[in-house]
Structure 1
């Protein structure tokens, strides 16, 4: 008998964790942290893991954690489990993998090759915490057997390298976990390909992220952000051309490697030199070893073979129009060394106005006479693109999640003639037959 269950992520953007379980084995897809947990009363006697469980930033999944030392939560420990358990991570964003560091030693976790490479270079530069889990590689289109559960990863596209969708099959169930998807990025053909394969595969269930349905059209339009990576590059070029005199500070998300490389190349075409903090150059080198990068001296860790030039902050101050400086939030004080300038926020940290640091950043830039330019683009498919994917796959049931408003997405799916429902957290769903999905109370 095959059951599937949702542990979190049904009414949030991120933190979506689900499992497929048989009598022999259990597959858990993604393992990220949920933001906005109840953290008002902090008990300092709790371990970090138990605190995250108490505040619902991680779900209390039985037989997954080492729980013997817990003080408040009664939860079956991994040492009591007889199930073969394996985790599959769709991509390297914190809301999909931030919980890896809390897994006990020996827990098997699969990543794509690029996600694996990114994970370990982020650990190297201090942007990620190591895990005691047994991290393994999978190959796209090559099945991984976990007991009587077969997982076949498919190459997908999001704003982080090595993104995956998962085709999960047991004797009674065919389920697709879409991961985060977009058709406005550099590789829409990857999603089109796995969606076409899915149509032929005839899945019982499609789990489809619905981030775009979290917002009404007016709010999304008001941001006036580029709608695609291609348009973002065009706007970047326009900025370089329209303001040739000011220093430009650029704050990208360190995990969006492809965009950072593209911005650096575009910058050089307009006659400016792109200067990186050492950690960002290290990450870029992991994926583009043939290229060399300019480094800001004050952030330099040590001399590397991929460093083209080391520049002092004083050189940038003397010739601000010659440079673009990549600037992470933790190094925002760099702004104070310039009389004025332009600060381009490109999906870097803080990620949005829900983070208190975002308002602090805007105020900080204002008092130091820096113009703020929002120049990111969504890593998530539009509403219409999501509906197109769902229609093309044609699953017997399409389940919307990874959204503040999954019910809105569900209604649109139904209007398209697709069977859909919004599940509940911590409830088992049973595939009794290929044509029927039931619920175990």
Structure 2
């Protein structure tokens, strides 16, 4: 495989003629409910560059939604997955097992927070991981209720849609949803009525009060939260919030689940985002960045909790597929070898400095937040009212796409621009991408 040159290059309008041709074919063959942020058809993906079928090279600030953290064709991922492909593609671990699955579970036990005995089960997608974490927590506690938070996102299956806060596009028209799911406030500092400095303890007190009065702590199997909320707008819960929720869970025999599907595997400058406040979850769900782009997910947790489900109660035909496991081992090898936690912190300091300078010029930037290479800006009509400005987010994304920079939007109000560059992106590409974003502000 020849490496993709690490430089932005536009040879046609975006999308180009070949992408438009493929888009016409796609409209005839692919269900309309499957959307795309940008209809450029990918030919190669390497480092911080996506090359499309027209020969355009775009700077990638999306990483396939935090998946290709080690790049879209990382050497170790390709090498290990290729070797595994030559041996066998599948046996089903529940029929005849194989070493790769065990190796991934051993790596997860080593990397996830806490020095207690841990076990894992492997699945295909983040939603499957969250769904199985609920099954495991219910089996362990013999309780039913599940507590989630405002602005949270946990997937697109029936149960995980119930756990997800945002209606459009995730839930609209797809109900009825799974029962025994309860939503409580989260510590969203930028929008907290009494200010960010009071937010952590106040939000925790409100959430705990609601759980105690409306559900009863003794009925709660699991509390599930993203340590940095992803689709909800890259919200970092205000300091003190997560430790208070964990303490409440521990005191009441509730399984605390950290959903690290978007924030895990070096994305925030630590192996897992929950480490920032010393949180040790009972269960941790992972996917996205785990396997360099191959479909894999996991639930990892305290051995006694993980063993609560009866034999045969967990699994799935493709869960922990051998090729995906090989990809995961290659991805973890790359993260360690290149110290991608340190790289994520470098990305954060560069991006936040540049974005802060933009905020001084453009008052529609209400908030800059996130950690590592999981950074976002919240756009508002004006800084005083903080009225969400989804129109600006859409216009800025469109302007960046036209200039060959892939950016994504998110947020409950659709007013957040999020940046998820590959952790292996070069500093020159990072700066060039930020130049394009700054120029987009000037025009929008």
TM-score (norm 1): 0.33
Query: Which of structures 1 and 2 has the bigger CA Rg?
Result: 1
Q: Choose between structure 1 and 2: higher helix proportion.
A: 2
Q: Choose between structure 1 and 2: higher strand proportion.
A: 1
TM-score (norm 2): 0.33
